């Protein structure tokens, strides 16, 4: 028990001792904290005073800068004000000067108006005096002057045209002749004159009755199937096939020849032979087209265009075989292109296709030119070939040298002697029309169509037409011929002015 009491007392004494030590430490900590706070307050006060001092110095510096800037701005404004004042004074002086000048100009304008009135009066008096002296009114005099000037201009323009043409022809004519002559010499083409009838020889006259058949049934069947007229007359041992379509005529000819050889002539056999003849003609057309491309060296044509080329073998123009003509134009175009350095391959292609529309122009609406252009466009020919086809008769302007070459080659092929023929009636009418056109012009005395219509020779009245007017007159006549006539090749318009002096010795 005693031990417990002693332990409790010792514990109580320990606690009291630790409490005193703790209170002593707390007191020391409070003193240090108070000191730290006092030091912080004094430091903050010093920093505050320092910041305030710096702020006052900065504010003072800013105020001084602003004062300096304001002072400079005021000085600049004062200078501007003085300059504006000077300019205003200068403008006032200029306005005064302008007002004085305007007043002077107004006076001069008034004087000019007075002078204009005086000049107008003088001009009127001069015109009246000139009319009195010349005996012409002002309108008559004006017309006289205009006519005089017009005649002088016509004369000078005609002389200038003549001079330019002479200079150009000196070199161009010789070069063109050489090129064309070389091309024609190198291209030798046969002339084939076709007609609208074919003659089929018979072994004997008895065959005529078999061809006609009982009550004419055989001949009617053949005519119906081929569309060709069979003319059986007194011509010995011959039957004449007549029709405008040469392909149908060829089919009828082949079929009739087969029937004559076979000897069995009746409607069923006729129908069979006509079908065989059609197949033969189709094969022939294809082969002729391929032969034309091989002969000219034109490759890569569409099969349909080759077939159309073959059809041209059975087409004629003024008696000239169109396929032969196309081949000749192709070769001539290639030769001319080679002479002048153009594309030979393209020139030959355009020349071969230039009349392709004639293969179907009796089956389709439009001219052979428009049909040919559409066909070649359909089968993707180049724009150069299309223009050559479109321009080869002058319907449109040539857009490239190939078109010009094809135009020249076509004219050469058509105009060569023997290449084409016309009926006598058409030929005579064309010559008469040529002379009528020439006689319709003032100053023409006589005109003669010579050289088969290739040249129009005109005698002019020398008193009414001088040398300069002849140039203009020849151009006008040629232009009228181009507009009113259709003709192959070209026509030379040759004007002759002759002055004769006659006197008698007595």
Both 363 and 329 in a single domain? Answer: yes
| 23 occurs within a structural domain | no
Residue 240 DSSP class: E
How sure is the predictor about 320, in pLDDT bands with cuts at 50, 70 and 90?
Answer: confident
Same domain, 208 and 167: no
pLDDT for res 193: 41
Q: Are residues 344 and 451 in the same domain?
A: no
Distance between CA atoms of 344 and 296, rounded to whole angstroms? 11
The reported pLDDT for the residue numbered 189 is 53
Instruction: Report how far residue 33's alpha carbon sits from residue 467's, in angstroms, rounded to the nearest whole number.
Output: 138
Domain that holds residue 278: 197-415
Report the number of distinct structural domains present in the chain: 3
Least confident of 102-106, 358-362, 480-484: 358-362
Give the separation between CA 145 and CA 139, rounded to whole angstroms.
Answer: 10
| pLDDT surpasses 50 at 9 | yes
Q: Is the pLDDT of residue 378 over 50?
A: yes
386 and 476 within one domain:
no
Residue 118 lies in a domain: no
* Residue after which a domain boundary falls, among 370, 391, 415: 415
* Residue 458 and residue 396 share a domain: no
Q: What are the tens digits of pLDDT across the range 117-167?
A: 999 888 888 877 777 776 667 677 777 778 878 877 877 787 888 777 777
Both 354 and 445 in one domain: the answer is no
CA dihedral 250, 487, 174, 170 (to 10 degrees): -170
Hey, what long-range contacts does 371-376 have (CB within 8 A, 24 or more apart)? 375/305, 375/308, 376/305
**291-301 pLDDT per residue, tens:** 888 988 888 88
**Does the pLDDT at position 422 exceed 60?**
no
170-179, 194-203, 279-288, 301-310: least confidently modelled range: 170-179
Report if residue 179 sits inside a domain. yes
With respect to residue 174, please indicate whether it lies within any of the assigned structural domains: yes
Instruction: Assign residue 487 the CATH number of its domain.
Output: 3.30.300.20
| Nearest CA-CA partner of 250 in 195, 320, 327 | 195
Check whether residue 286 and residue 364 sit in a common domain: yes
- Percentage of the chain modeled with pLDDT above 70: 87
Residues 151 and 287 in one domain: no
Residue 169 in contact with residue 210, Cβ under 8 Å?
no
Kindly state whether residues 263 and 391 are assigned to the same domain: yes
> Distance (Å, rounded) from C-alpha 113 to C-alpha 102?
16
104 lies in some domain: no
- Digit-coded pLDDT (tens) for 423-449: 445 666 777 788 888 888 888 888 888
Q: What is the pLDDT of residues 460-473, one digit of tens each?
A: 888 888 887 888 88
Q: What pLDDT is attached to residue 2?
A: 67
| 384 and 480 fall within a common domain | no
What percent of the chain clears pLDDT 90, i.e. is strictly above it?
Answer: 6
Q: Is residue 116 part of a domain?
A: no
Domain assignment of residue 288, yes or no: yes
- 411 with 431, same domain: the answer is no
231 falls in which pLDDT band (50, 70, 90)? confident
Query: Does the structure show a pLDDT above 50 at 72?
Result: yes
Tens of pLDDT along 74-92? 889 999 999 999 998 889 8
Q: What's the mean pLDDT in 9-23? A: 72
Alpha-carbon span 447 to 459, nearest angstrom: 6
381-405 pLDDT, tens digit each: 899 999 988 888 877 888 888 988 9
384 and 359 within one domain: yes
DSSP E strand stretches across 65-202: 197-201
- The answer to the question of residue 297 being in a domain is yes
- The answer to whether the Cα torsion of 331, 336, 339, 341 is positive or negative is negative
Tell me the average pLDDT of the chain: 81
DSSP class per residue in 453-466: TTEEEEEE-TTT--
Q: Which of 387, 415, 443 is the last residue of a domain?
A: 415
């Amino acid at each position: 028990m005693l031990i417990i009491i002693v332990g409790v007392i010792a514990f109580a004494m320990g606690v009291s001792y630790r409490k005193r030590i703790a209170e002593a430490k707390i007191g020391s900590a409070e003193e240090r904290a108070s000191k730290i706070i006092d030091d912080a307050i004094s430091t903050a006060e010093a920093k505050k005073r320092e910041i305030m001092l710096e702020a006052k110095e900065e504010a003072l510096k800013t105020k001084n800068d602003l004062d300096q800037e304001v002072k400079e701005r005021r000085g600049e404004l004062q200078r501007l004000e003085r300059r504006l004042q000077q300019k205003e004074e200068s403008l006032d002086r200029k306005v005064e000067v302008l007002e004085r000048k305007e007043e002077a100009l107004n006076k001069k304008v008034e004087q000019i108006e007075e002078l204009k009135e005086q000049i107008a009066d003088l001009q009127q008096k001069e015109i009246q005096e000139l009319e009195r002296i010349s005996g012409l009114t002002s309108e008559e005099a004006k017309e006289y002057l205009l006519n005089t000037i017009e005649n002088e201009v016509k004369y000078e323009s005609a002389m200038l045209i003549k001079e330019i043409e002479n200079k150009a022809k000196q070199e161009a004519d010789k070069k063109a002749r050489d090129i064309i002559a070389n091309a024609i010499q190198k291209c030798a083409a046969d002339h084939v004159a076709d007609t609208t009838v074919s003659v089929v020889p018979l072994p004997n006259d008895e065959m005529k009755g078999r061809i006609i058949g009982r009550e004419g049934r055989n001949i009617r069947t053949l005519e119906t199937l081929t569309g060709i007229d069979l003319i059986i007359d007194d011509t010995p041992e011959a039957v004449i096939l007549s029709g405008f379509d040469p392909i149908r005529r060829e089919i009828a000819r082949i079929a009739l020849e087969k029937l004559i050889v076979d000897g069995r002539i009746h409607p069923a056999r006729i129908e069979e032979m006509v079908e065989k003849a059609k197949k033969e003609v189709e094969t022939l057309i294809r082969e002729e087209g391929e032969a034309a491309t091989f002969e000219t060296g034109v490759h890569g044509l569409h099969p349909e265009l080759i077939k159309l080329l073959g059809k041209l073998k059975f087409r004629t123009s003024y008696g000239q075989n169109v396929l032969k003509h196309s081949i000749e134009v192709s070769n001539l175009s290639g030769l001319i292109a080679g002479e002048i350095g153009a594309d030979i391959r393209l020139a030959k292609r355009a020349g071969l296709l230039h009349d392709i529309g004639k293969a179907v122009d009796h089956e389709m609406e439009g001219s052979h030119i428009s049909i040919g252009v559409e066909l070649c466009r359909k089968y993707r020919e180049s724009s150069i070939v299309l223009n050559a086809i479109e321009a080869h008769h002058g319907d449109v302007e040539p857009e490239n040298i190939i078109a010009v070459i094809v135009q020249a080659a076509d004219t050469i092929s058509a105009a060569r002697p023997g290449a084409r023929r016309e009926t006598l009636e058409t030929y005579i009418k064309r010559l008469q029309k040529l002379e009528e056109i020439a006689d319709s012009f003032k100053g023409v005395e006589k005109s003669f169509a010579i050289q088969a219509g290739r040249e129009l020779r005109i005698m002019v009245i020398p008193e009414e037409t001088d040398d300069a007017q002849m140039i203009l007159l020849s151009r006008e006549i040629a232009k009228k011929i181009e507009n009113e006539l259709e003709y192959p090749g070209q026509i030379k318009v040759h004007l002759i002015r002759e002055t004769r002096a006659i006197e008698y010795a007595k």
